[in-house]
Structure 1
Amino acid sequence: MNMGKFDKYAGLYAEQGGFDIPATATLGAAFTPATNRALTLTAEYQRIFYGDVKSIANSGALLGGAPLGANNGPGFGWTDIDAVRVAAIYRANEKLTLRGGVSYATDFLKSTNEVLFNVLAPATPKWHVSIGASYKIRDNMELTGAYTHIFEHKVSGSNLTPGFGQPVSLRMYQNELSVGLSYKW
């Protein structure tokens, strides 16, 4: 993948709008028991290297240093994270497949002093749970649906801008519903 600069955000993101996609390393495994070929269990570990992207990793705690958008300018103060996921797939019959899983990620902020600038990107959640199913309508058509709930998580800190100092809290939760129809030509 190659990502260009966000030219319209050159005055906000460090490196004149540089905002690369962080590198990731993933290791996973799947197991289908010989005694139950309809079931597959999966596990995955992923490391996301946010610390290598200056717009994400640089400290934004004190905005009185380098100006926004500057080389080595303020960022979100994120650190590398680890994510662990486990899931199961159950093929109930030739037409119906059921899926479910859970995901946990470690804290992304280097310090609670980074909370203020993160109001622009309040990605606080740690736990996700998903369920889904696919139903084969006919040989060339399948209906798929999924629901994901991202549990609320709150991160609190202080506004370190000189003369302020009030508490700052970020929280987020999400619900996602998706439906798709596949048709094979």
Structure 2
Amino acid sequence: MQPRHTQAPSVRASRLALTLIAAASVAPAAWATNGYFPHGFGLKAKGMGGASIALAQDGFAGVNNPAAAMFAGSRLEIGGEIFRPYRDAQFVGQTPVVESGRTAFLIPELGYSAKLSERMAVGLTVYGNGGMNTSYAPFPNGVNLLGGQGKLGVDLMQLIVAPTVAWQVADGHALGVSPLLVWQRFEAYGLQAFGMMSSDPANLTNRGKDNSTGIGVRVGYFGKLGDRVTVGASYSPKIRMSRFDKYRGLFAGSGDFDIPANYGVGVALQATPTLTLALDATRIRYGGVPSIANPSLQQVMAGQPLGGAQGPGFGWRDISVVKLGVQWQMNERWTLRAGYNEGQNPIRPDDAMFNILAPGVIRKHVTFGATYAPDARTEWTFALWHGKRENVVGPSVDFSSMQMNPTGTRIGMHQNGFGVQFSRKF
């Protein structure tokens, strides 16, 4: 009888990684929690309110803290989540409430890490951002909520592949770096009424999907302060992306849409042998990207055209987010988690009208999670979360007469999510 040939774990992991990257490249993105960033990355973090910077318990170091790969061990995480955002908008006293038709999305995820020696580890994380993803049906006469024809909406997806290297520079202390290979896709439709305000009306709306690429970096530090306390820090500067040429009449800077700088610090406490507390404080600098941050109605009233260097954006501001998580190892097979995530709303009332397209207004999340370990090498992780409904009310403008109604626009959103993740240690 011939012996059975089996693939090495690293070969199997590589093939699975390629499969997940391919799946992620065609999956729609619909996150809209801390602005358009997810409240956390990896299902263990998502079950703990997103807290992750000072924890090393999965293969998502490339997005949470590259230095954590040094202490995560050799492991592979493959999972997916069902994300259900509910968005709606109306012009108060003028139109009925219109709900976005996209309310269910399947989102894959991948994390991998391998310890090469006592001083070095490597990893790979595949993750995404998104959230400017809406689709509002037109009224019976074919006109949509913003005065254009047919369906109204946008679809933004950002896919990031993050290879990671971490070094233990002293016992219990590591530095890490993750180059970020970024691809993003965008589409807008139903914005014909904005043609008179665009620097390039032919490249404003209904141009199909357009792609953009860029390269960035994330760096991190992870440290063990004794047996009970770990700390971490992570930073990614703004990623400059190539232009969306098909939408250079929409985004400020002739189609520029960069990824904002983001950073955070975290601390984790092993309060008892079975109880861990974790706290992260993070900052997302939406204000550094003109196409996201430029005021909307203010720039319109000042005569600045869409697509121009000072053209209207979405008016998003920088936000701070606090993530608090607790983890209890109930027994050798089950670990339970809970968390709370609270951030600022990036959207000011004055910019509510333009943000009908991207109502990322949620500030508070409650999360729960669990891991079941049937044996020493296998884990199944589950997480669920709820984003509390928020509304923003602000002015609207009749562009034909340039008359303003100070309380004319209302946008709102809440959301739910559930995910399952398989992990294998090797």
The equivalent position to 1:37 in structure 2, one of 273, 281, 294, is 273
Equivalent residue letter for 2:364: W
Equivalent residue letter for 1:163: Q
In structure 1, C-alpha distance between the alignment counterparts of 2:243 and 2:367, rounded to whole Å: 33
| Alpha-carbon displacement from aligned partner over 1:79-101 (angstroms, at most 9, x marks no partner) | 11111111101111222111110
1:107 and 2:107 aligned: no
The 5 Å alignment of 1:1-185 reads: 1=216, 2=239, 3-33=241-271, 36-62=272-298, 63-64=300-301, 65-109=303-347, 111-161=348-398, 162-163=402-403, 165=405, 167-184=408-425
Task: Work out the number of aligned pairs and report it.
Answer: 182
| Alpha-carbon displacement from aligned partner over 1:59-105 (angstroms, at most 9, x marks no partner) | 11143522222222110111111111111011112221111100111
Query: Which deviates more from structure 2 when the two are superposed, residues 59-68 or residues 165-174?
Result: 59-68
CA change 1:71–1:40 in 2 (3 A) is: same
Query: Which deviates more from structure 2 when the two are superposed, residues 131-140 or residues 156-165?
Result: 156-165
| Alpha-carbon displacement from aligned partner over 1:20-57 (angstroms, at most 9, x marks no partner) | 11111211111112xx2111101111111111110111
Shift of 1:133: 0.7
Judge conservation of contact 1:61–1:115 (CA < 8 Å) in 2: no
In structure 1, C-alpha distance between the alignment counterparts of 2:381 and 2:292, rounded to whole Å: 35
Q: Alignment partner of 2:354: what SS? A: helix
In structure 2, C-alpha distance between the alignment counterparts of 1:31 and 1:183, rounded to whole Å: 26
Q: Alignment partner of 1:68: what SS? A: coil
C-alpha RMSD over aligned residues: 1.7
Equivalent residue letter for 2:355: N
Equivalent residue letter for 1:44: D
Shift of 1:116: 0.5
Q: Alignment partner of 1:177: what SS? A: strand
| Alpha-carbon displacement from aligned partner over 1:90-123 (angstroms, at most 9, x marks no partner) | 11122211111001112313x4111101111100
Query: Which deviates more from structure 2 when the two are superposed, residues 76-85 or residues 16-25?
Result: 16-25
In structure 2, C-alpha distance between the alignment counterparts of 1:101 and 1:94, rounded to whole Å: 22
Judge conservation of contact 2:395–2:404 (CA < 8 Å) in 1: no
In structure 1, C-alpha distance between the alignment counterparts of 2:366 and 2:245, rounded to whole Å: 36
Shift of 1:131: 0.5
Could you tell me the TM-score, scaled by structure 1's length?
Answer: 0.90
In structure 2, C-alpha distance between the alignment counterparts of 1:47 and 1:128, rounded to whole Å: 17
Equivalent residue letter for 1:101: G
CA change 1:128–1:163 in 2 (3 A) is: same
Equivalent residue letter for 2:365: H
Question: Gaps spanning 5+ residues in structure 1: where?
Answer: none
In structure 1, C-alpha distance between the alignment counterparts of 2:338 and 2:244, rounded to whole Å: 36
In structure 2, C-alpha distance between the alignment counterparts of 1:96 and 1:113, rounded to whole Å: 48
In structure 1, C-alpha distance between the alignment counterparts of 2:276 and 2:242, rounded to whole Å: 39
